[in-house]
Structure 1
Amino acid sequence: MSALRIVPVPSHGTEDVLVGPDGTVFTGTADGNLYAVDPAEGSARLIGTTGGRPLGIELLDERRLLVCDAHHGLLAVDIATGELETLVDAVDGMPLVFCNNAAVASNGDIWFSDSSTKFGIEHWRKDFIQNTRTGRLIRRTAAGEVEIVLDDLAFSNGVALSADESYVAVAETTTRTVVRLWLTGPKAGRREFLCHDLPGYPDNIARGTDGLIWVSLPSTVDTVGERVLRMPQAVRALVSAVPPALQPKVKRVVRVMAFDDDGRCVHDLTADATGFHMVTGVREHHGQVWLGSLEEPAVAVISLAAD
């Protein structure tokens, strides 16, 4: 097990984490707030609020964050002033239901996921159990044009670009896979697995400074849930109607994995989940692996050097 250092923030639900060039750690919380965390002092500064539920966070440019807000879509947020700009809130005339995670290309294109066209974040379990396969990977070009690149995804979640931007990867939470779409080279346009049969359900993914694709696993494989997913759709719909309090509880784990461009697992890190769990965000930055959580009022960090 790896040693875990926990850094509190003023609100709970630090779903994703981003590390800026100067080491500042950015996160968003369930109350809509966005924070900049000083990793040395452990202090958190309020940047602003989206008025919704911020999930994936990326650097859009030197002064703005790109925020996937589950309620309001794809947003740009000025780090200094907190000023908001809506970049995408609808696709093909239909409002985004569950904007989740993103990656920004060097040419300014934004690749982002919409996890479901049927259920919002408050009912994510229903989409998971029913396996609606309405998740999408969407591209917004630097010129502002929006197109659906992949659809029929099983709860599309984390998004990452390879270091050379030859492919874009997107996690499918329900099927425990990370798929990739080749963008350049002889495989351009081909869709295939980067990794599959993961030991848990992938959430956010991100490319680290090490060039690897890091994958957060907030929960290990649930045998009951896997059986339910193999049942007829009508049965799954009935199961999804059971109140969350009566559904199987997510196991307390801290686990993240990292894969190279060949799909080889380079790191598989675990830590004590007593004081921190439900890891939905991961970001490697020069040997420090920062973690976010859908549940916790904190971010956490693992040092690869000490692993």
Structure 2
Amino acid sequence: MGRFLGVASIVILILAAAVLALYIRSPLEPIVFDPPKGGSLTGEFAVNERLAGLAIYLENRGTGPEDIVKGPDGHFYAGYQDGRIIRFSVSEGRAVEGSIQAFVNTGGRPLGMQFDGAGNLIVADAFKGLLSVSPSGEISTLVDYADDSTLRFIDDVDIADDGTIWFSDVSTRFGLHEYIYDLIEATATGRLLSFTPSNGRLQVHVSDLYFANGVALGPHDSWVLVNETGASRVTRLWLKGPKTGSTDVFIEGLPGMPDNITFNGVDTFWLAMPALRSKEIDALAEYPFIRKLLGGLSVSLLVPTSDLGFVVGLGLDGTVTSNLQSMSGVYHTITSVNEYDGYLWLGSLAMPSIGVLALPVAY
């Protein structure tokens, strides 16, 4: 018995030391949170393979074409993990391989992109800040992380008709390389901001967002949407009318974790969901101590992988109008969906290519 107790004591001490080490190493300060309700792959989100027939272009030109946008010059632009932004020509929904050119390298990580009225490419760069790239490729910084000590992770961008640039900052706690920590911690420190180029004004409009991500202005710039990846919902800020300055929920209870969102200018918001909700994080919602210990592990052990491709179309009232999925892995970890000339252009966090799908005419 004495020998058993001795061994047991050693095992307990080792386990205690391991727990203590994880606790000390962890940068997390988790809180108890309420996981979103609903979110099953049934009904309007029923499993399907409508994305399986998409076309693949620009294979092995780079990893992680997060966003793909069409410029006023008719060329398309895509940003990659290594900082490159390339441009290429398109013919009838097909990328012309021989047309690919290097445009610029931001030296950071270009994420959401949008062209302003002067033809400059406005880039939300996770490492460099909010950038403006002229048609000739000259890069200027509009918002530097040094301008606001709480800025950590500028993610997506959209531009109003008056030139105001709306953008998201994922977290005041963690940057791109530690993004999984923000989801596990659940302190919801993300924000929606605007920058006015004419006077350099930087303004915070909405705070306490759970992993602020995609940004899209609505019809006539009357409101702006911001995705909350960690909450599986889309929040709306009213910019005009009697509700000006107030927020409400555009859609919630999504089965996935929304990334970017775009407006086709007419009747549809396209929502990209790179992954389903994490059952593990939700199961630990009431156990912040355990989640604190997870923060002591390497990020590489915590980031999930997925073969899911998931795109949702939303009407102007937030109802689901399109449900496009694929579980086959043909194109997965989708981060952006942009509609141009009857086609959907898909970007991804992890794919070495871009995806193109003829605009679906049915649910």
TM-score by length of 1: 0.93
Select 1:75's aligned residue among 97, 122, 131.
Answer: 131
Quickly say closer, same or farther: Cα 1:192–1:95, change in 2 above 3 A.
Answer: closer
Q: Which has the higher helix share?
A: 2
Quickly say closer, same or farther: Cα 1:23–1:94, change in 2 above 3 A.
Answer: same
CA distance in 1, matches of 2:195, 2:69: 20
Instruction: Describe the superposition over 1:99-119 as per-residue Cα deviations: whole angstroms up to 9, x where unpaired.
Output: 100110000001100101111
Matched residue, 1:258: 313
- Matched positions, count: 305
Q: Does the 8 Å contact 2:178/2:299 carry over to 1?
A: no
Instruction: Describe the superposition over 1:77-105 as per-residue Cα deviations: whole angstroms up to 9, x where unpaired.
Output: 123x2210100114764163101001100
Q: Does the 8 Å contact 2:72/2:119 carry over to 1?
A: no
Q: Counterpart of 2:78 in 1: which secondary structure?
A: strand
Q: Does the 8 Å contact 1:209/1:286 carry over to 2?
A: no
1:215 partnered with 2:283: no
1:187 partnered with 2:243: yes
Matches of residues 9-28 of structure 1 in structure 2 within 5 Å? Answer: 10-21=61-72, 23-28=74-79
1:291 partnered with 2:342: no
Matched residue, 2:55: 5
TM-superposed CA distance for 1:245, in Å, is 4.1
**Structure 1 residue ranges (4+ consecutive) displaced by more than 6 angstroms after TM superposition:** none
TM-score by length of 2: 0.79
Select 2:283's aligned residue among 208, 219, 227.
Answer: 227
1:12 counterpart letter in structure 2? T
Q: Does the 8 Å contact 1:112/1:139 carry over to 2?
A: yes
TM-superposed CA distance for 1:158, in Å, is 0.3
Unaligned runs of 5+ in 1: none
Quickly say closer, same or farther: Cα 1:22–1:83, change in 2 above 3 A.
Answer: closer
Q: Does the 8 Å contact 1:109/1:140 carry over to 2?
A: yes
1:137 partnered with 2:186: no
Moved more, 19-28 or 278-287: 19-28
Quickly say closer, same or farther: Cα 1:166–1:91, change in 2 above 3 A.
Answer: farther
CA distance in 1, matches of 2:231, 2:141: 31
- Identity across matched positions, percent: 35
1:89 counterpart letter in structure 2? D
TM-superposed CA distance for 1:243, in Å, is 2.6
TM-superposed CA distance for 1:160, in Å, is 0.3
2:71 counterpart letter in structure 1? G
CA distance in 1, matches of 2:76, 2:204: 30
Q: Does the 8 Å contact 1:98/1:114 carry over to 2?
A: yes
Instruction: Describe the superposition over 1:158-192 as per-residue Cα deviations: whole angstroms up to 9, x where unpaired.
Output: 00000221100000000101000011112111111
Instruction: Describe the superposition over 1:254-281 as per-residue Cα deviations: whole angstroms up to 9, x where unpaired.
Output: 1111212211111111246433211011
Q: Which has the larger radius of gyration?
A: 2
Matches of residues 29-68 of structure 1 in structure 2 within 5 Å? Answer: 29-40=80-91, 41-42=96-97, 43-68=99-124
Give me the CA root mean square deviation: 1.9
Quickly say closer, same or farther: Cα 1:237–1:24, change in 2 above 3 A.
Answer: farther
Matched residue, 1:158: 214
